[in-house]
Amino acid sequence: MGWQGKKVLVTGAGGFIGSHLTERLAAEGAQVRAFVRYTGRGEIGNLRWVQPNLLTKIELVRGDLRDVEAVREAVKNMDMVFHLGALIAIPYSYIHPREVIETNVIGTLNVLMAAKEYATARVVNTSTSEVYGTARYAPIDEQHPLQGQSPYSASKIGADKIAQSFNLAFNLPVVTLRPFNTYGPRQSARAVIPTIISQVLTCNKIHLGSLTPVRDFTFVSDTVEGFLLAASVDEAVGKEVHLGTGEAVTIGDLAHKIFSLLGKSPQITTDEERLRPQKSEVMKLLATNDYARQLLGWEPKVSLESGLQKVIEWVSAHLDLFPIDQYAL
């Protein structure tokens, strides 16, 4: 699909993936409206890292996903909606489950209602691999049962099911993407890869939670490509599609890969504050991306080693963003 002149809304545009997607769409010539959560400080999140010549072309709209009218006005006159807006921190969902559920479930409902009202041509709904909980089998395909092992994952299951219902009940053209552990430049200290890197760069001892969970890490540019394809392929409407590499690594092995790339060998200390409740920890997330390859023509292109090197360069240049004396929820 040619994006030149397409009117596109990105919710959660100030987030990690959202900022990369917004930047890519603007570079492709789309007329991008970026919905970011209002703060009195006028913050735009990770959009501050977007190339200045592209940022000036992006329409910034501030509001809250829980505000029906704010969302309705944002969706109005848009050809497509990429819905990435959400509260995503799992530890935060243990502390404030109501806020997480209201933002992720009611916020998604508001987006879908507005898209239905304005007959939006495509809605790409963002899910997460966390909806599967600990894998009952691996690699995980799109038919794996959903298991809400945290308030966050439960909220995303609810949002996904509402999106599915709008497709089935109202014929709203919705695609749901399930990225598996996206990483890359601009990711915050709450994510494991920049947390490890920033600690290794500044300390002889690093603090982590459990080292045994298995994850499937996808570089952000590959994830963004999946979003563009999901909006372009008509056969994807009504479907749920994984974006993952199909390659597994434990958190412990990931840490040692980073140690090797940095030429350091710090001591790892288990931090009780970083451990999830026992029944809530998701022990294995490993995707099969066969469906994405078949349906979207998508495939990951950035290797873990190459991607980690890019994140090391980013974190090294922005160490002030990663306070190592506190745990980021």
pLDDT value at position 205? 86
Residue at 257 is within a domain: yes
pTM > 0.75:
yes
The DSSP letter of residue 209 is S
Residue at 2 is within a domain: no
- Looking at the structure, tell me whether residues 17 and 158 fall in a common domain: yes
For residue 230, the Cα-to-chain-centroid distance in whole angstroms is: 15
- Looking at the structure, tell me whether residues 227 and 115 fall in a common domain: yes
Domain ranges, residue 85: 7-183+218-243
Q: Are 110 and 121 in contact (CB under 8 A)?
A: no
Other beta carbons within 10 angstroms of residue 264's beta carbon come to 13
Helices assigned H by DSSP within 47-139: 52-55, 68-75, 90-95, 97-101, 107-117
Q: For residue 96, what is the domain's CATH number?
A: 3.40.50.720
For CA atoms 73, 74, 76, 82, give the dihedral sign: negative
Mapping DSSP to helix (H, G, I), strand (E, B) and coil, where does residue 62 land? strand
- What tens-digit pLDDT sequence spans the chain (329 residues)? 799 999 999 999 999 999 999 999 999 999 999 999 988 888 999 999 999 999 999 999 999 999 999 999 999 999 999 999 999 988 899 999 999 999 999 999 999 999 999 999 999 999 999 999 988 999 999 999 999 999 999 999 999 999 999 999 999 999 999 999 999 999 988 889 999 999 999 888 888 878 888 999 999 999 999 999 999 999 999 999 999 999 999 999 999 999 999 998 888 887 666 666 767 677 888 999 999 999 999 999 999 999 999 999 999 999 988 876 665 55
Other beta carbons within 10 angstroms of residue 136's beta carbon come to 11
Q: Are 268 and 208 in contact (CB under 8 A)?
A: yes
C-alpha closest to that of 115 among 148, 66, 73, 156: 73
pLDDT value at position 164? 98
- Looking at the structure, tell me whether residues 139 and 239 fall in a common domain: yes
